[in-house]
Amino acid sequence: MAGAAQSHWSSRFAFIMASVGFAVGLGNIWRFPYVTGENGGAAFVIVYLACAFGIGIPILMAELLIGRRGQASPPNAMANVAAENGKSRQWRVVGGMGLLAAYTIEIVYAVIVGWVLWYLFKAVTTGFVGIDGVAASAEFASVLDNSLGMIFWTLVGLSITGLIIYAGVQNGIERAVVVMMPLMLFLLVALAGYNYFAGGFSEAVVWLFTPDFSKIGPSTLLVAIGQAFFSIGVAMGGMMIYGSYLPKSISITQSVFIIVIADTFVAVLAGLVIFPAVFSNGLDPAAGPGLIFQTLPVAFAQMPGGYAFSVLFFVMLSFAGITSMVGLVECVNGWLEDSFEMPRHKSALLVVGSIALLSVLSILSYNVMSDYTIGGKNFNDTLDYFSNQILLPLGGLCIATFAGWVVSKETTQNELSSLNNLGYQVWHFLIRFIVPPALIVIFVMGVIS
């Protein structure tokens, strides 16, 4: 086995930091609090946790055990495990779906991380002093119209990601995440603590944690399943490649529980960072994706200590964006190393360079190419639909089917050896009979919508 399969995490802490960094992205930080408030507050959190533990954890365990057992990039890991169990190596196609999902997501995601880095620069140089709602909207519109500016900052984000990947698993990814993730968590706690005294904190707590069971229905369940599935980061190849670097001595089960709990904690904490600033300044908490770039700069301009708050906030977002990009790029990079025995520096350059070229199409879709559509969707919307509504749920369904019905119980029990017999039986039941139907529902509803 070549390349990526020969590398391993030096510790469980490094693995967990990398995995949490991959799972916690920009969408997770702003979307979870917003969706929670719109879907019944604490009532939604209860449903989300049930979905995260009943669906997210079993499939994440499956992905990690396949990666570790196969000791290779996602396609080759699937093929290796299938062959070990006397099945066709064509199961590699499922791993290939994860790579394709990661690659298509990264093309659009890299541009959004570029926005974050650009706004970090704006925060450092101006602190959004004197900006109001009209000016903030105009500022964001000017960002979307400035193709060269977006290209520059997208390249900055991809360059940072590429350098981390280039340095390798222990010297690159580990060194980055063991600094970035604890610092990001520290910044989140510090900013939430600041909000406790600055105002709007009680309104944010009500928004996030007041249960409204009247809002809980079938649609809420679908939202909760989708949020749990996508926020944990399964079926994107990243967790499977990270699993291939996982030493046998590290418990998959314990690590997965820590990852999911940390992922949920960060999402809830982010709500206590974002929404107090929104409520204390009379802004719209339902501003959606524009919240970070159009609404929060106004809050920063009006609050005491807004300059420091804005800089720290976008530093934290930058860390979240970069660590997610590292996981998305690494799974594709690992496949090139694994399959073609390509040196890491060449594979990293090829993956990051190709993403940079294709990201130009994503950038132009916000302005000059916005009217060019495929089936009514522009380039970005098409990639988003293809990855999120097709590849992820379909890939997750295939991974669950593979782990539950194709891989032998002896193999999965060996990889999940830290589970007692009852715990293993629960996992095996969920991965066979609960996870697949849930993912079928997500897939069908996604296609219909």
Instruction: DSSP for 315-382, please give it.
Output: HHHHHHHHHHHHHHHHHHHHHHHHHH---HHHHHHHHHHHHHHHHHHHHHTTTTTTT--BTTB-HHHH
Q: How far apart are CA 98 and CA 75, in angstroms?
A: 8
Tell me the pLDDT of the chain (449 aa) as tens digits. 334 445 899 999 999 999 999 999 887 887 888 788 888 888 898 888 888 888 889 999 999 999 999 999 999 999 999 999 999 999 999 999 999 999 999 999 999 999 999 999 999 999 999 898 899 999 999 999 999 999 999 999 999 999 999 999 999 999 999 999 999 999 999 999 988 988 889 999 988 888 988 888 887 877 888 788 778 888 999 999 999 999 999 999 999 999 999 999 998 899 999 889 888 888 877 776 678 898 889 989 988 889 999 999 999 999 999 999 999 999 999 999 999 999 999 999 999 999 999 999 999 999 999 889 888 899 999 998 899 889 998 999 999 999 999 999 999 999 999 999 999 999 999 999 999 998 898 888 878 86
Model pTM greater than 0.75? yes
Q: Where are the domains of the chain?
A: 3-448
Within 13 A of 208's CA, how many CA atoms are on the CB side? Answer: 23
Q: How far apart are CA 172 and CA 162, in angstroms?
A: 10
Report the largest interatomic distance among the alpha carbons of the chain, rounded to a whole angstrom: 67
**Residue reference for tokens 């290209």:** 151
pLDDT at position 3: 41
Nearest to 87, CA basis, from 414, 406, 399, 409? 406
The CATH class given to the 3-448 domain equals mainly alpha
Helices (H) and strands (E) in the chain, counts: 22, 0
> Count of residues for the chain?
449
How many other C-beta atoms lie within 10 A of the C-beta of residue 393? 25
Beta bridge partners of 377: 374
Torsion sign across C-alpha atoms 263, 265, 267, 273: negative
CA distances from 356 to 25, 37, 322 (A): 19, 36, 15
E strand segments, 244-324 = none
pLDDT at position 289: 67
